[in-house]
Structure 1
């Protein structure tokens, strides 16, 4: 489950040199800097050949009581849940309970196009079913329990976004329905199926279907930044995301899961290969992340104030997972630091000093900007001597100045560089640059 400010344009980027010696001092320095400046709360684990070679945790499980996080803290992992759900679907296929090409009308006769939508279409986001998390009223009921019947009713009420198997579009509804199919064929709740088929066999002691957050169970609350202070986020009721986003875990367990999955310990290698086959950007519960000539496989996740990512490099047998419950500095930049530390590439440490810019100069940068490279436009406005950016259809966010013409938003790894003489603005994110012209 995720709502993001500007879609991350590139999950992983870096270099092509290789080293099996992790520069742990670099990672330690980054986390010390983030903790000192109160820019991040979360945990990371890195493993190689099945052995953990680095872990770190900073921040708080509960800011109000100053309960510190640890490597044992468990986080809501959002859409990484989809990788678990897709794995369970292939497990059900191996046990001859379902097949990829069967239509879903048997389970959901009220869902539009259910007679032509297949389980395969749900897995790789080619169903055309509308994503209920994009509904305007979603945040008015997402903290309240929803029965399975009510969730099916909500999903069935949505309009069809496109005809089945004609295109791909990321959709949480797909994986909620997949988890209901699993419950139907196994006659058990999703959490019990998850435990029986994955977490117990792989000895994942910190991974399960979540309920209400429990600090006593080493779980943590999530937070967003409010003028540099952590503001506690509301809790999505876990009856809603189900197999699309209701799993709780931590980085060490996520690495163990990916290692077990890619070793053929959960489903066959043939079925794993189906999961990681990309069609129009999406696999079946798995994304492909390029890292120069290398490829890793995994999934990002976001729910409430939680952000996470899990990634596995099969050739290097390298697993990296990050789970966070409060970000001002984005997970993608932390991943880049971790990968550069492993593959022996340069990494530029963040600078958190803020430069004062006059109101007259800020006025030069305000306006609407468009680009021929990407479809959305960005409006730059000013409030209380602070620049505010808002992309088409997205929430607004404040910018911090690092130079007289350079501004950043660390939570999404965004840098905006202005050239008022040319009426231009350059967006930098994920190692990519996009030129915008003032309209």
Structure 2
């Protein structure tokens, strides 16, 4: 494969969307763990004229969810919980659904629990800017009954993932972020990956996040809990550390974190009550594996996730048959991520297919 041609082709695509006057993104493409491309495009800090470097950190937002699920599977493998147990033991003061909604359903987005980014968001927005996990759980508890019967449909739910993070805290005595840092990141050598539990801690390697406004200018986004997130999206990382994560998930036979047979259940689609398969496992979308999803790259078996928070957007993909990992991390809320990501994938696969 001609890596120079790949770099030039990807660079032309990137230049159509970002520049020295805009935020941008870091991109890594790898096959069998070998890096094919690692580049930064656009600016890490517009006000100070600092360009993005490939090793800069970005908030990965909902790409955190795969780590949340691995943490839950680790606790299951230690005998501390069962996936199909109701959540009542952990949330005894929640509405009646606590008696029958399960941990598995929370991991698979099939609970019917209401989404905190939607349910009364405007009324709660200022409180959410400073809410710790306990305060956010108070808000979620007040949402009342479920939107639908559990396991009757897939409906993405950040609220349930905040609850999963609190289960980790209750069972280990460690805040969710500290558990990730000590028991997942450190063992895997992800030395530049962080998971702040509150906004009083900030990743020193993290770039500035921006929002594109209607007049075309860029606004620096404030560092508050709407940006930081919880167990639904609090990790900040870089493309190199996320490649280490992909190596553990897809290229290793190591039982370092938990038995491989248990880990592999994360890549199995969840079956709904009507017998259909959802497009989601434990923290992963499963493109071309089960169901369909509009953001899936067509024609390839793909395990993937996206993330979006105030000032940051991400996508991490693993192409199973080709053994290819591609990670795109941006500090540009408003970037047309998929309109960039998919053409860059086209270039990559064209290069890989060349004789």
Matched, 1:274 2:261: no
Structure showing greater radius of gyration is 1
Q: Classify 1:214/1:174 alpha carbon distance in 2 versus 1 (closer, same or farther; 3 Å).
A: closer
Residue in 1 that maps onto 2:153: 167
Q: Tell me which residue corresponds to 2:58.
A: 75
* Alpha-carbon shift at residue 164 of structure 1 (Å): 2.1
The separation in 2 between residues aligned to 1:264 and 1:20, in whole angstroms, is: 30
> How far apart in 1 are the matches of 2:91 and 2:267?
27
CA contact (8 A) 1:77 1:248 kept: yes
CA distance in structure 2 between the partners assigned to 1:193 and 1:232 by the alignment: 30
Pair 96,261 (structure 1): closer, same or farther in 2 beyond 3 Å: same
Aligned partners of 2:59 and 2:234 also within 8 Å: yes
Task: Please tell me whether residue 254 in structure 1 is matched to residue 242 in structure 2.
Answer: yes
Runs of at least 4 residues of structure 1 off by over 6 A?
A: 19-22, 213-216
- Assess, with a 3 A threshold, how the Cα gap between structure 1 residues 339 and 148 changes in structure 2: closer, same or farther: closer
Give the CA deviation at 1:326. 1.1
Equivalent position to 1:241, from 220, 229, 234: 229
Correspondent of 1:101 among 80, 84, 91: 84
1:353 alignment counterpart: none
Alpha-carbon displacement from aligned partner over 1:128-175 (angstroms, at most 9, x marks no partner): 11111112324222321x243322211111132112222221000111
**Per the alignment, do residues 195 and 264 of structure 1 end up closer, same or farther by CA in structure 2, a change over 3 Å counting?**
farther
1:238-265 CA-partner distances (Å, limit 9, x unpaired): 7973110111111222222122122354
Unmatched 5+ residue regions in structure 2? 271-277, 289-296
Q: What's 2:100 paired with?
A: 116
Cα deviations by residue, 1:14-41 (Å, 9 ceiling, x for unpaired): xxxxx79772220122223434484651
Candidates 308, 321, 343, aligned match of 1:315: 321
Q: Which one has the bigger strand percentage? A: 1
Structure-to-structure mapping, 1:35-74, within 5 angstroms: 35-36=18-19, 38=21, 40-74=23-57
Return the offset for 1:59: 2.5
Structure (1/2) with the larger helix percentage? 2
Q: Which residue pairs with 1:406 in the alignment?
A: none
How many equivalent pairs are there? 326
Equivalent pair of 1:45/1:322 in contact (CA under 8 Å): yes
Cα drift, residue 216 of structure 1: 8.3
After TM superposition, the structure 1 = structure 2 runs for residues 242-391 of structure 1, keeping only pairs within 5 Å, are 242-262=230-250, 263-265=252-254, 266-279=257-270, 280-290=278-288, 291-344=297-350
Secondary structure of 1:57 counterpart: strand
Give the Cα–Cα distance (whole angstroms) in 2 for the partners of residues 215 and 177 of structure 1. Answer: 22
Counterpart Cα distance in 2 of 1:87 and 1:284: 8
When residues 288 and 116 of structure 1 are mapped into structure 2, their CA distance, relative to the original with a 3 A threshold, is same
| Cα pair distance change 1:148/1:344, threshold 3 Å | closer
1:156 is aligned to 141
Structure 1 gap ranges (5+)? 1-18, 346-439
* SS at structure 2 position matched to 1:30: helix
Q: What TM-score do the two structures reach when normalised by structure 2? A: 0.84
Distance 1:152 1:258, change over 3 A: same
The partner residue of 1:127 within 86, 99, 111 is 111
Cα gap change, 1:230 to 1:215, in 2 (>3 Å): farther
| CA 72–124 in structure 1, closer or farther in 2 if over 3 Å, else same | same
Change (3 A) 1:303 1:216: closer
Q: Which range moved further: 222-231 or 85-94?
A: 222-231
Which position in structure 2 is the counterpart of 1:28? 11
Provide the alpha-carbon RMSD of the alignment: 2.4
Q: How does 1:138-153 map to 2 (within 5 A)?
A: 138-144=124-130, 146-153=131-138
1:213 Cα deviation from its structure 2 partner: 8.9
CA distance in 2, matches of 1:192, 1:225: 33
Give SS of 1:221's match. Answer: coil
